[in-house]
Amino acid sequence: MIVYNDILGRLAAAGWSTYRLQKEKVLSNGVIMQLRAGKPITTTTINVLCRLLDCQPGDLIAYSPDEQGE
């Protein structure tokens, strides 16, 4: 299972509030809702996040085996 590492918290620390992300049309409300819920996001979104945060994808996501062996 892919786990997201507090992406919204990292964005907020970098000065990107959810309001600003939506207002400047960087991320849609739907993507922000997916991040809040820990739902899957696209590689295009990961690319945008890496650009905003000046980081690598591995800084944002991690793999953690779940109990069902997925």
Q: Which domain holds residue 14?
A: 2-63
Q: Is the separation of the CB atoms in 27 and 41 below 8 Å?
A: no
Predicted confidence at residue 70, as pLDDT, reads: 52
Arithmetic mean of pLDDT, 52-65: 94
Domain count, the chain: 1
pLDDT digits (tens, 9 = 90+) for 12-55: 999 999 999 999 999 999 999 999 998 999 999 999 999 999 99
CB-CB neighbours of 34 under 10 Å:
17
Q: Is the separation of the CB atoms in 50 and 57 below 8 Å?
A: yes
Predicted confidence at residue 7, as pLDDT, reads: 95
CB-CB neighbours of 9 under 10 Å:
9
Predicted confidence at residue 64, as pLDDT, reads: 87
Q: Is the pLDDT of residue 69 over 60?
A: no
Q: ∠ at Cα 45 (33, 68), nearest 5°?
A: 70
Read off the CATH number of the domain in which 26 is found: 1.10.260
- Does 69 reside within a domain? no
